[in-house]
Amino acid sequence: MSDVYSLHGTTVAEIFSSGLENLDRIEAVAVAVIWKDGDVTAGASNTTNERLAFMLLALEQHIKAGLFRNVLQNPS
């Protein structure tokens, strides 16, 4: 599975700046934006449905691993 790095605490400007600095290394982008008015915009760039599904699977695995760590650290 691919490595997933947390962006928690990163500003929007830092994310986009890093993307521009590493443009030659980026194959595709998937993004979801929550606007201040509550609207959500989501989509993906020039990628296949299979690659997008892989990206979502990697994120899901990252989220589940974090939830599992929290359960083990804070047993009820």
- Could you give the CA distance from residue 43 to residue 34 in angstroms, rounded to a whole number? 12
Structure tokens at 36: 């201040």
pLDDT at residue number 1: 61
- How is the chain split into domains, by residue range? 12-73
- Give per-residue pLDDT as tens, 28-62: 888 889 999 999 999 888 999 999 899 889 889 88
Give alpha helix (H) positions in 1-76.
Answer: 12-21, 49-73
DSSP states of 27-44: ---EEEEE-TTS-EEEEE
Average pLDDT over residues 19-29: 91
Q: Is 16 helix (H, G, I), strand (E, B) or coil?
A: helix
